Chain A
Amino acid sequence: MSTQTIEIIPNPTPTPTQPGMFVPQAAKANAYDTITWHNGDSVGHWPAPSASNPKGWFPNQIAPGDTSDTLAPGPSNPPGTPYTLNYVCANHNDEKGTITVNPQQ
């Protein structure tokens, strides 16, 4: 049940659909950990389970300098199986990240 922050930083080779990037891009967590995103970029970003579902996790994008609400992954279904949450920035379709959740500690 640790806490961790995923940073959103400017992409060193920015494109219109990927001005920023998630660090770490592939995060690991245990069930019942809590995760937030901190926007260190100069534009808004919006982590979401899919581009077509921008409000799937958070009702609003993350303003520059701000931090998201908390994402709190639980164990898998069926129990005991690791699973991966794929997510994307709803504002920038090529900004992608994953969170691999270990259901047991």
Chain B
Amino acid sequence: MPVKKIVKNQAGVEEGNNSEYSVQKLTSVTRREFLQKSMMVTSSLALTAMLPSFIPENWATVAAQTGPCTPGQTLNTIMEIPAHRTSPTSPGTLQAVLKVLNENKQYLAASVTSGNPPVCNNGQMRYISGYDKTNPSKVWPQSFPETKGSPAPAPTLRCRVGDTVQVTLLNQVKVSDFGKTLDVVETGTSTCDTSITPKPDGSGGVNTYPGDPSFETPPNCFHGSSSTNLHYHGTHVSPNSIADYVLANTRPSPRDSSGKPTVDEAFVEADFAEIFKMCADGHSPQLWHDLPKTWQDKQEALLKNYDLTAPWKGVNGPVNGKPALPPDQQLWPKDEAAINSCMWPQYYIGAYPSCFVPPIWKKGDPTSPQMGQAPGTHWYHSHKHGSTALNLANGMAGALIIEGEYDEKLRPFFVRERVLVLQQYGAQINLMKSGINDQGQANTNIKGDLVFVNGQYTPVLQMNPNEMQLWRIVNACHRAQIALSAPPNGIKWVQTAQDGVQFDKKNYNPAVTNAAISVPAAINSSGQTGGSLAAGNRIDFLVQAPSTPGTFNITFGRGTLLFTVKVAQDTSMPVIKDPMPFPTKDQFPIIPEFLWDIDPAKVTVRRSLHFASIADPSLATPANPHPAANRGTNAPSYPPPTHIIDGKKFNNQIDQSMVLGATEEWTIYNDSTGAAHPFHIHINPFQVTEIFNPAGGNTTPAKLPPPWIWWDDFAIPPAYQPPTPTGGTAPPPVPGYFKMLTRFVDFAGIYVLHCHILGHEDRGMMQLVQVVSNTGHVEHN
């Protein structure tokens, strides 16, 4: 029996634990296909000839070995919802039905007692259930007993560039299972989620969140966690209406007298079919009146009924024939005002359609978008401001694999693909937990949520000796940075893509097979950045197993176990005699032209943004004028730090406005020590060209050599606090920063940039971006 290690907490304190595991079985990758692949790779024959025979990651796991809260289980494969096409080359359609549901789930959490192993916690948690509309009999996660009772990622969506993605989102959260989560905080008149720490002597309690007086101002506080929407992270699609629109706010469906949600598949079927057809035909609804009239009427009726009955207040009907909600808290009037102003309304009840086509870039075609969709590892997650962190802590995120030439060219070099979704689970946000410890000070005993892989804690991933696998790693944690340690001796890996965008072959380096992954990104020996796995980042690795069986720990941070690789021959699969080789630089996929470097000469606008976490100013002293932005030992007398961009919290105003088609250079500063805030902007990826990491020992900025890596999420190096001279005062921190080039092409509209530590985003570290068209009248008389 192998001896594994499980960690006590994310600080990396370990203690022994024995556990057994079994081996995955191949079902859909046949022995013949496998043998073909192995032979072709090792003989360097025409590699693409066999592509149609490969079916990625569609093998089943063995039956569940144990229940929730058991570490070291065989890695789950997340169910995939694929696009379907009539021929191998025709555009496909992905039709997913995703339901937000909830149930009591069990999960491991770090003990508050030093030295104790993780404990099994439980609580009501939301999750995304889903199925392929063309195969509704198989539902994730309900059809998979190995996930029963545990949190899990959302199903994986898999399509190709140019396919149509149609998602029917149904919000069927049972509101009565969650306290005060249907608020009207957006009016600014209601409250944030509130937590009271009782005094053990029975004399009362202390408001530890949002404090009394409150240290948070709506909408920048935890609130409204039963409402939802979806963000398709990494997609280059419209930010408007039914595409990647994260300003939508979909309340849960009402329920009938038997408790069944009334907004279900049948309720939306005809209307969404019409909407999806419009999308597939290239003219998605842009205005409310573009939607089917029946859907307009249904939503209007649902919203008016919501205002009448105020389900979040527990009111069962109109009060004296009038709406239970005061006018400023009613939703339909707000939608109506938006509609009358030709704006896309914010509020919906029960359902929302998403539809988009990851665009194909066509060289020389005047109808082509300027930027295509980069094929690669992307993801999707709930993005309702005020509840993004809690919703992701509940598990509401999944992988979105968009395939293209990158995948096709790499496929011959690996046997199996693993989609690895990393998540931190918790039924509650830390700031909502007790604010007082034994001494009446801050709750420093509370540890960060543990990191899980595909819903499991420290699972076991099987590889055959000499096998090459493609690992698509998605950091869907609401907070944790995953600084991967170098692979253990025997395991070799080479990074092939960052944030869903393949490397230029000049940055692909098969000679280095043991790189660690730091956060923020480090500068490697060639002067380029390595990859990084801050919250929101993705990394693709080709991973080669050693020739001899063994067990290998994949760790991060200070040696914290993430998962174990068990190298052992699966007897249902052929033996691979020699190590499958990494592709050479020449064999590596050529980066498409639309992902060539942005020309700095085309930059027309330069701007700077400053991210900062600010401690309560009252903590400052003459000797320490820049107190750490850490709640430290002063809570609840002092509030937690405030997270701001350019000196303020999100305020529903446009902070960055640019012209469609513009090329810009941004410098993103981190004015604070401590957290490396992951900067994320929707819709358009960017290239990092310069990094200054003073806390990491940089004395001068590092200008990166081209070709530059593409990112959509980059951890800003934190500031460095120089030492305080003897008898003097502390000098101001030296900010860290990175420079990036980006293009605001193809899509006008309003979207967001924010910190991908999602509690920071929820509490205000977000801005609105507006891309405006520069087309207009050329003559006016």
Contacts and interface: CB of A to CB of B under 8 A. Distances in A.
B223 to A, nearest CB: 12
Interface in B85-122: 109, 111-113, 116, 119, 121-122
User: How large, as a class, is the contact surface on chain A?
Assistant: 35 or more
Given A32-B434, A65-B314, A76 B112 contact: no
B197 A56 contact: no
B434 A31 contact: yes
Interface string B423-441: 0001110001111111110
A32 B112 contact: yes
B41 to A, nearest CB: 48
Contacts of A16: none
B194 A105 contact: no
Interface string B181-214: 0000000000001111111101111001000000
Contacts of A68: 179-180
Interface string B107-144: 00101110010010111100000000000000000000
Contact of A57 (B113, B196, B433, B434): B196
A101 B198 CA distance: 11
B176 interface: yes
B13 interface: no
A34 B116 contact: no
A85 B434 CA distance: 14
Given A72-B435, A74-B443, A75-B438, A57 B195 contact: no
Interface string A1-34: 1111100000000000000000000000001111
A16 B204 CA distance: 25
Nearest to A78: B438
B445 interface: yes
Given A4-B123, A65-B316, A70 B198 contact: no
Interface string A69-84: 1111111111100010
A93 interface: no
Contact of A85 (B119, B198, B440): B198
A70 B193 contact: yes
Contact of B179 (A56, A67, A101): A67
A57 B204 CA distance: 6
Given A67-B180, A69-B196, A74-B443, A49 B121 contact: no
B179 A72 contact: no
B103 to A, nearest CB: 13
Contacts of B654: none
Contacts of A3: 122-124, 427-428
A73 B197 contact: yes
B472 to A, nearest CB: 31
Contacts of A91: none
Contacts of A75: 112, 434, 437-438, 445
B315 interface: yes
A38 B204 contact: no
Chain A interface mostly helix, strand, loop or mixed? Answer: loop
A70 to B, nearest CB: 4
A98 B558 CA distance: 41
A49 B446 CA distance: 25
Given A34-B195, A73-B197, A105-B112, A67 B176 contact: yes
B177 interface: yes
Nearest to A57: B205
Given A1-B428, A71-B205, A105 B178 contact: no
Nearest to B118: A105
Contact of B196 (A31, A71, A105): A71
A49 B198 contact: yes
Interface string B615-652: 00000000000000000000000000000000000000
A68 B199 CA distance: 18
Given A49-B205, A72-B208, A105-B111, A1 B446 contact: yes
A72 B177 contact: no
Contacts of B198: 49, 57, 71-73, 85
A71 B434 CA distance: 8
B577 interface: no
Given A68-B179, A70-B196, A34 B202 contact: no
Nearest to A36: B179
B381 to A, nearest CB: 21
Nearest to B193: A70
A5 B313 contact: no
Nearest to B106: A2
A80 B292 CA distance: 62
Given A2-B121, A2-B122, A75-B434, 12 more contacts: A1-B427, A1-B433, A3-B427, A31-B112, A32-B112, A34-B195, A34-B427, A53-B203, A71-B195, A72-B435, A75-B112, A105-B111
- Top 4 nearest A-B pairs (CB, nearest first) are A65-B314, A67-B179, A3-B123, A74-B434
25 contacts: A1-B426, A1-B428, A2-B121, A2-B122, A3-B123, A32-B112, A34-B123, A34-B433, A53-B204, A65-B176, A68-B179, A70-B194, A72-B195, A72-B196, A72-B432, A72-B433, A73-B434, A74-B436, A74-B437, A75-B434, A77-B438, A78-B438, A85-B198, A105-B116, A105-B119
